[in-house]
Amino acid sequence: MAGRLERVRVAMRAKGVDALVVRGTDAYLSEYVPEAESGRVWLTGFTGSLGDALVTLDRAWLFVDGRYHVQADVELDAACWTAVKSPLGIGNESACATKIAALAGALPDPQTLAVGYEPACYSVHAWKSFCNELAGVAVRWIALDPSLVADARGPVEPTVTGSGRLRVVDESTLGRTVEEKVALVAEWLASKRADALLVTKLDELAWLANLRGEEMPYQATFRALGVVTRDALHLSVRVAPVTDAVRAARPTVRFCDDEALVALLRSLGVGGKKGRVALDPASVSAGMRDRVEALGLEALAVTSPVVAAKAKKTDAELAAMKRALRRADGVVARAQAWLTDQVSRGERVTEVGFAAQVERMFRAAGAVGLSFRVISAFGTNGASVHHPPSDETVIEAGALMLLDTGCYFEEGFATDLTRTFFVGGPDDVPTAEQRRLYTLTLKSAIAGMTARVPRGASGAQIDGITRRPLWREGLDYAHGTGHGVGINVHEAPPSIGKTATATVEPGHVFSIEPGLYLEGIGGVRIENLCTVHDDPAHPGYLQVVPLTFAPLDARLIDTTLLEADEIAFVRWYAEKGAAELGEEMTSRWAVG
């Protein structure tokens, strides 16, 4: 890492850059960038999905949120890097801006700090917010394309995993055809007096085209660039082959290359009229916006209609997601039983070994890939929210195991589920403290999964309802309560968090995942995917309902800490799980 840092610093000196921002995302603003392609991973060694770096000529920092505090300590070379651990509510960008302001403030007048950045790695909105945070600070921005990290590293071929193919999804399982989705966008374009919508977010392109990819780890998307005009979706697929079968299945999609898309955009401005291209400032990069304007077009920054339409699942999409979730629930139930049996027989299983077994079980159940890296955390490692599994940690009886995992089946929607369970055979008994921590977390999960809120309620209100049982005990967790789920395992809207302002609506699918994390002791997290529907007994109100039913570990439930309605919910939940997954699979976890 020291050698890589020095190569980047040589490039910084040559460009007159005093400080360099290295973001964890890519030109598609993806959350899960393939590690082999990530400049931040190459430079820092940190493999978490979120985390930005700042490099000066003599110091280097990595900014991470509460999910990655422990992982950053494990993966960073402390001789080269300092981890800046942001508390809940402080984004990595804000922490980075604070450090830049401090560096600039230490310079004597009239010097300015020359800061290099990649316009392709900031959304229009994120770049504006970042600049606003540094308004009045003596900073001079230097746009870099390609990045100095890319220059220092050299060429990198796109990662292709799985089959590398495009997969056609049966449109009857999605509720809308490509033509219907284009018509939705076309009507919106007319209302905005725009000629086209530029789309760069990969899950939005997959949604529009009713296609999925088997190309990158932890994604069901494919690398592409798209433009929706008032009559068609124009799609440049950059890596996956577009076969005759794909073209035949999607005859109205106009497959092309990037050059043809540029030509299309140029053609929008005719007869002295300036073409008007809409782009979503939350998902299109500042660099792409600049390229649109360089073509002589007007860039209209406005929220894309695709965002709300994609988040609000159709009845067919909800049915497809439920099918996938049932299969994932079954895998997690079998995985809990498998590990307990292995350890009871004295078999040696490590965190890495268990994670690999979970993936094998998903594949055997028909999964085409994982939706994120398996989090397999035993004992005290559970205190790390996103603990990377270790092959040195052997799972033994008498402690808690935290499994957070998800996959993709043929439906092309992500699954996501966390279960914490006790490792041990019939003669092993959880401690009173293990049962207390688990039951308090369960109370919080029940509060979220049974919440009733008025129509128009925000995710922040559900977040508060969920945290209330823990707050009553003076406890909390340093992450959001939940996130939207769809083609990506994390999508927005909705968001369930302390600062979430977007409303939660019928058709939204989101997680409820409270937890407790105690350094040196371990962690408990219980996560279920949920939705909301109109509550017929209370007009004007929405009722949260769970969609996932993998069994809870009854050995860890202290019913003396539960209210009568909570006990009733736990029994209903177990009965529902048995009905969905089968008595044989769930009986060993039943509540007495």
pLDDT category, 270, cuts 50, 70, 90? confident
| Burial of 538: CB neighbours in 10 Å, binned 0-12, 13-18, 19+ | exposed
State the pLDDT at residue 517: 95
Name residue 28's amino acid.
Y
pLDDT category, 218, cuts 50, 70, 90? very high
At residue 239, the 3 state secondary structure works out as coil
What whole-number distance in Å separates Cα of residue 364 and Cα of residue 374?
A: 16
DSSP 558-571: -GGGS-HHHHHHHH
State the pLDDT at residue 97: 97
| Burial of 433: CB neighbours in 10 Å, binned 0-12, 13-18, 19+ | exposed
Are 419 and 384 contacting, i.e. CB atoms less than 8 angstroms apart?
A: no
Q: Say how many residues make up the chain.
A: 592
pLDDT digits (tens, 9 = 90+) for 329-373: 999 999 999 999 999 999 999 999 999 999 999 999 999 999 999
pLDDT category, 491, cuts 50, 70, 90? very high
Say yes or no to pLDDT of 51 above 60.
Answer: yes
pLDDT digits (tens, 9 = 90+) for 142-201: 999 999 999 999 999 998 988 899 999 999 999 999 999 999 999 999 999 999 999 999
Mean pLDDT of 303-322: 97
* Strand residues in 346-486 grouped as ranges (E): 369-370, 375-378, 400-405, 407-408, 417-422, 452-454, 482-484
Are 516 and 437 contacting, i.e. CB atoms less than 8 angstroms apart?
A: yes
Say yes or no to pLDDT of 283 above 60.
Answer: yes
State the pLDDT at residue 87: 78
Residue whose C-alpha is closest to residue 147's, from 10, 45, 11: 11
State the pLDDT at residue 501: 95
Say what the alpha-carbon torsion angle 268, 269, 270, 273 is, to the nearest 10 degrees.
130
pLDDT digits (tens, 9 = 90+) for 547-585: 999 999 999 999 999 999 999 999 999 999 999 888 766
Are 525 and 515 contacting, i.e. CB atoms less than 8 angstroms apart?
A: yes
pTM, two decimals, is 0.93
DSSP β-ladder status, 233-237 and 254-256: parallel
Mean pLDDT of 524-532: 98
pLDDT category, 382, cuts 50, 70, 90? very high
State the pLDDT at residue 323: 97
Are 425 and 398 contacting, i.e. CB atoms less than 8 angstroms apart?
A: no
Mean pLDDT of 541-546: 98
What whole-number distance in Å separates Cα of residue 362 and Cα of residue 342?
A: 18
Q: What is the rounded average pLDDT for all residues in the chain?
A: 95
Alpha carbon separation from 471 to 384, 445, 501 (Å, rounded): 20, 13, 21
Alpha carbon separation from 143 to 16, 102, 140, 312, 333 (Å, rounded): 12, 21, 10, 37, 50
Mean pLDDT of 475-494: 96
Are 206 and 222 contacting, i.e. CB atoms less than 8 angstroms apart?
A: yes
State the pLDDT at residue 592: 46
% of the chain beyond a pLDDT of 90: 91
State the pLDDT at residue 68: 83
Taken in order of first residue, the domains within the chain and their CATH numbers are 2-153 (3.40.350.10), 166-309 (3.40.350.10), 315-450+512-589 (3.90.230.10)
- Tell me which long-range contacts 152-157 makes (C-beta under 8 A, separation of at least 24): 152/4, 152/7, 152/8, 152/10, 152/11, 153/4, 153/39, 153/42, 156/36, 156/37
pLDDT digits (tens, 9 = 90+) for 403-435: 999 999 999 999 999 999 999 988 899 999 999
Angle between helices 351-364 and 315-344 (to 10 degrees): 130
